[in-house]
Every structure is written in C-alpha cells, then in structure tokens.
Amino acid sequence: MLEESTLDFDELDEHDFVTWMRQWGLAPEHAAVSSLMLVYETLFAHLDDRAPYRMGELACGVALRWFLLVSFGYEGAPAYDFGWSCAETLITPYYQALRQLGTEVHFFHRVERLGFAGSGDDKQLSRVHLRVQATVAEGREYQPLRLDYDPPAWPMTPDWSQLREGAELRERGIDLECAYDGWPGVGERVLVQGDDFDVCVLAIPLGALPPVIDELIDPRSPHFDPNWHAFVDGTALTQTLSTQLWFRRDAAQLFDQRDAATGRSRVRGLATGFAQPQASFGELSHLIAHERWPAPAPVLLTYHTGALEGAVRLPSVGDATRGFPAAERLRARGIVEAWLRENHRGLFDGELTDFDALLDALAVPPEQECSGIERLWAQHFNIACQPSDLYVLSRPRQTRLRRAPHDSGARFLLLAGDWTKTDMNCGCVEGATQSGMLAARALSGHPIYIWRVGF
C-alpha cells in the first residue's frame, strides 16, 4: 500500500486479493496458506478451481479490511460461536427491544413492488405494494416466539393455530418464506407515502430485490435509474449450502484428539479451509441442550457450510418452477453425500474409520429411526434456493456499484442491508448492522456514534 501510495482500501477493490498480493511479492506456493484461505472461505469466495467450483475472486480492499479485523480487531479470538442459534442470539434481542419501544410488527406481509413518482431530483417513493400472506385470527396480534424456551425461540414454521388460514396452509404444506410456492395470499395492501408512512427503509436482500424495484431497473420505466440497473445487474450472488450433523458418539470417538507434532489435545471449535463445498466447520454441541431431544440426546453437533457455484441466477418464479426448491434439496443431498464419502476421514479422524460406521454414529429422532444412508437424510441441510437467501459476493470492481444507505436516489427511501455501501462491503452481520445504523442516522440524526472498522 505504501508503494502504491494508496490511502483508501476501497481503491484496491479493483483487484483480486491474492492476485494483488502476488503482484507485490507473495510467492505462488503461499497463495493458498490458511490465513488467506480464511478470508476467501469466510466471505464465500473460496480458492478452489476444481470443477464445478470456481477460482475465487475477492475484492482486495474488502479482503484486507476483513483480514485485519479478524486478525487484530476482536479481543481474544478471531471469531466467536453463538451461545444459542443464530436467530435467538441475533434477532430475538432486536425483536424484543423493538417491541418494548412500542414498535408494531406486521408479520405475513410480503413486499411485492415499490411505486415511484417524479423524476430526477424529484423522484420519490410513493407507494409500497404488499401481499398479505395470512391473517391473524380474531384480529389479534401474532405472537411469533416460543416463550417456553429460554431465550424465546423462533419455530421452524409459523404457529398455524394463530392464523385464520392456518389449517389450510398446514394441510397444503405451504412455506410462506418460499417464493416458488404459488400461494396467492389473502389480499393486497398498498401503503401510501404521506398517509401510511413518512420514510421507508428498504432492507430486503439483494437477491429478492429485482421484482421489488422493477421501476428503477427496467429501462422502459419512466423511473429508470442506470446506477441501480448497473448495481443489480453487476453484483454477483452465490448459493450457499449448510449441513448440520448430530452424533451419538462423543468427540473422543470421532476425532483424533492428539496433535502429532505437539502431543497436545486438539480443540475443534471453529475452522475453515476444509474440502469443498463444505469448507467451514463448527463444533456446536452446546446447542443440543436447547433442542429438547428425547433421551438419549445426541452428544455432538457439527455444522458445515460453504458456497456452491459462483454468480448464479435462480429461475424466475412461476408455474413451471414450482418444483425448483424440492429439486434443489435433493441436489443438496447428493452434494453432501459425495463430499462426506470422499472427505470424512479428513475431519472425523478418530475411531470410526469407514463411512458406514460414521453413518451409524449419526443420531436421528426416535420417530425417524432408520439405517445406512437414511441416517444422513435425517440430518439438517439448507441449500439457498430462494432469491432472498442468496449470498452477496464481494468481487473485484463491484464495490463501486453499491449504494450507501442514504443514497437510494429517491426521496422517502433509505436502504439497509449487507449489500449497501458501508465500511465492510461484504456479507456479514457487522456490515448489515453498520448499514442499519447509517440508515437510522440518515433518518433521525441518531446514533451519532456508529461502529466502524477504523481502517
């Protein structure tokens, strides 16, 4: 950086991180050392050129900032695992704080489209078109949390008993978070600027944005904005795949716990750089206590995640693609089975030497008791196959396309999310949080202090 007289990391975002490091002397044999791999893997831009996985490309400024942040920015460790699940750790406190502040939360409303008026400097958000997916029985307020858990938990499916349409939705197996399900909802609602809202904060993920902001990105629209078009068209998104495996054997049986070099016991914790496409790993056995398994409960829980092929476009929503999520879930099984068959000894290097023994070590709920490969299918897989679940990549030359939370190009519209222009410019909770704080400050002048990486 000194040689290039670069003061601003963002300027380096035109280059790929490792390519830039090599330009300044990184030896080719060090391009895949674990400290660099960590940056690529944790931002889902992995460094693996085996088909079908791509050779990763990662904006250099984003990567350098991330590298410095995780290396030196946090006290004690580069990363921490959550005490509870992601939703309970991150979202429950926000939700409860908002409720205590008197915020109303209207569940089961999907934003379908934003409507604009005016042009140039007078362009403004005028309408928000919502699809009402379901209504709460007897006009009551929907209670989303399972209060019998501590901390209160978010269930896998809505509490159907609170919804008028609950029985039908349950019977038809409708997933209200699925864009492909074809559930028409029970009505529409239009929010009008000035009557129903003053300012709107758009925090929908980038993958789901195109139909919502069609008026800004369709060149035939009178409200067309070439910068929005360039951003949506030019920003790469990727599918991710995550797997959770529960075991009825403990760490002593699953893992070789002695480090051959030092003789010390090896703690698994959080790690990355393992075989694609499930390169990142977490030993999260502490979550089992919150899961209310019938006895005998599993004793070990591992989490695996990684990116699939880069720069995907999911099929558009319609009758012809209704089966897409189910087909993707089947595809995910095939990918995980192949990955585990080929690589299980690299991770589970303890007493269970063959694949069948590993399958037998998996825990399954009593009502699903089974054998062989079926035990693997009883575990949890999550392939990102909804537009809103795609992960926003930070590729070279794409940071400059991002829009800051205060810079939507339309009055009465602010932006928030990990896809906006912040200090981070990458898919992480720090970036999403900073973005939300910047939107709040643009709206109200508060908070005055906003967390920044500082470089």
Ligand X SMILES: Cc1cc2nc3c(=O)[nH]c(=O)nc-3n(C[C@H](O)[C@H](O)[C@H](O)COP(=O)(O)OP(=O)(O)OC[C@H]3O[C@@H](n4cnc5c(N)ncnc54)[C@H](O)[C@@H]3O)c2cc1C
Q: Of the candidates 141, 429, 447, 452, which one interacts with ligand X according to CB under 6 A?
A: 429
Instruction: Give yes or no for residue 428 binding ligand X (CB under 6 A).
Output: yes
Q: Return the structure tokens found at 337.
A: 């089975």
Nearer to ligand X, 350 or 386 (CB): 386
**CB neighbours of 365 closer than 8 A, spacing ≥ 6?**
293, 294, 378
Residue 384 C-beta: closest distance to ligand X, Å: 6
The dihedral of CA 441, 447, 448, 452: what is its sign?
negative
Size of the site for ligand X (CB under 6 A): 18
**CA-wise closest residue to 296 among 351, 358, 365:** 365
**CB neighbours of 275 closer than 8 A, spacing ≥ 6?**
339, 342, 343, 346
Instruction: Give yes or no for residue 208 binding ligand X (CB under 6 A).
Output: yes
Q: Return the structure tokens found at 282.
A: 């977490």
Nearer to ligand X, 86 or 252 (CB): 86
3-state secondary structure of 75: coil
Instruction: Give yes or no for residue 408 binding ligand X (CB under 6 A).
Output: no
Instruction: Give yes or no for residue 270 binding ligand X (CB under 6 A).
Output: no
Instruction: Give yes or no for residue 63 binding ligand X (CB under 6 A).
Output: no
**CB neighbours of 300 closer than 8 A, spacing ≥ 6?**
246, 247, 249, 250, 251, 254, 283, 285, 288
Instruction: Give yes or no for residue 205 binding ligand X (CB under 6 A).
Output: yes
Residue 41 C-beta: closest distance to ligand X, Å: 11
Segment 283 to 342, residues that bind ligand X, using CB under 6 A:
305
Instruction: Give yes or no for residue 124 binding ligand X (CB under 6 A).
Output: no
Nearer to ligand X, 359 or 442 (CB): 442
In the shown chain, the binding pattern of residues 164 to 203 toward ligand X, with x for contact by CB under 6 A and - for none, equals ---------------------------------------x
Residue 4 C-beta: closest distance to ligand X, Å: 29
Task: Find the helix packing angle between 60-68 and 34-42, rounded to 10°.
Answer: 110
In the shown chain, the binding pattern of residues 222 to 251 toward ligand X, with x for contact by CB under 6 A and - for none, equals ------------------x-x---------
Q: Of the candidates 114, 301, 432, 437, which one interacts with ligand X according to CB under 6 A?
A: 432
The pair phi, psi for residue 413, each rounded to 5°, is -130, 120
Amino acid at 120: G
Amino acid at 7: L
Using CA atoms, how far apart are residues 62 and 195, in angstroms rounded to an integer? 41
The site for ligand X (CB under 6 A) is made up of 110-111, 203-205, 208, 212, 240, 242, 305, 388, 391, 417-418, 427-429, 432
